[in-house]
Amino acid sequence: MQTSGQTIAETLLAWYGDHARTLPWRAPPGTDAATLGPDWPYRVWLSEVMLQQTTVAAVGPYFARFTHRWPTVAALAAADEAEVMSAWAGLGYYSRARNLIACARAVAARGGFPDSEAGLRELPGVGAYTAAAVAAIGFGRAAVPVDANIERVAARLFAIGEPMPGARPAIREAAERIAPTGRAGDFAQAMMDLGATICTTRAPRCLLCPLRPACAGHATGSPETFPLKAPKRAKPLRRGRAFWTLRDDKVWLVRRPPNGMLGGMRALPDDGWSARGDGSGGEGEGEVLGMVRHGFTHFDLELVVVASERTTGEGEWWPASDLDSAGLPTLFAKAASVATACIETANKPSSSPRA
């Protein structure tokens, strides 16, 4: 059985050389980060922020649009905040977009990204994982980022039996123990790829895994049980209303407050629902056009869409036929679709009965 950290790293890196995923924010295995130019850390950082709690498939088009529109961190720092928030619409977790702008401006002000894990941690919105990822992948520094994929691989490799999230310190120590002395970026991405394609959450493909001979989780016969999950808490259900005000084929959109849920985004006016409680209601205001259900991290929301005459709050009239370009977050894009579909159905002429 292979057990030494160096042997595990060598085996994994050899596998990565043959099986690395081709991604728009990634360099080929074995590439020295120092040869990739001054904008390379920006691309790594941007992709890592976008990938937080979002799939690779979802991020791809956004990454392409952002790097085309704002190819450098200086360009992003100079961008209008509303335009960035609009371009981010649909990726969710909108505090990431606000932190993205703040971080870009801080980096531009200092003339570039710091090249150490500690220096990166000082930037706005950059936590332990992102700092380690940019240090390792963007600069080739000795750092071990631990995302959900790497957590899963390390927990299974060493059969770490403590439930999450308490197991995280032991998982981090295990990942650091097997890290090689060089190729930090390749090692991190190899662990990520192994977790994403082989050591998957359900039905891991152990027969294809290069680390199977060294895997204590596989030896138990139930590798999929690692990492152990704490019992899930039921998410509360919140209820609210969104108001659809249409005049001259234009819809009234407001700008949400900069702090709080979906901060700074264009949206339909609503009744003040939040993660902590239901909205204030508004029954009897107008015709109910439909309802959407949307899941947030800590709660689910049922949002009733109501025809209204409200034009309260800071806002603007937006062409109803061009709502796709308004940059509405997913929740309000769903609500707008429900309202539009209801109105189109109501206005559709009924077919004449047959003679």
What are the residue numbers of the active site? 48
Predicted local distance difference test score (pLDDT) of residue 312:
78
The mean-pLDDT minimum among 41-50, 59-68, 93-102 falls in 93-102
User: What CA–CA distance (Å, rounded) separates 116 from 330?
Assistant: 36
Choose among 202, 185, 205: nearest CA to 194: 205
Give the start-to-end residue ranges of the domains of the chain. 5-225, 237-347
Q: What does pTM read for this prediction?
A: 0.81
For the chain, helix, strand, coil in percent to 5 are 45, 10, 40
Report which DSSP code applies to 199. Answer: S
Q: What's the pLDDT tens digit per position in 94-139? A: 889 999 999 999 999 999 999 999 999 999 999 999 999 999 999 9
- In CATH, what is the architecture of 5-225? Orthogonal Bundle (1.10)
Residue 13 corresponds to which amino acid? L
Q: Give pLDDT tens digits for 242-301.
A: 999 999 999 999 999 888 889 889 999 999 999 999 999 766 678 999 999 999 989 999
Question: Helices in the chain by DSSP H: which ranges?
Answer: 5-19, 40-51, 56-69, 73-77, 81-88, 95-110, 117-121, 128-133, 139, 148-157, 168-178, 184-197, 216-219, 330-347
Phi, psi of 188 (to 5 degrees): -60, -45
Which CATH superfamily does the domain covering 237-347 fall into? Nucleoside Triphosphate Pyrophosphohydrolase (3.90.79.10)
Tokens 């002429």 locate to 349
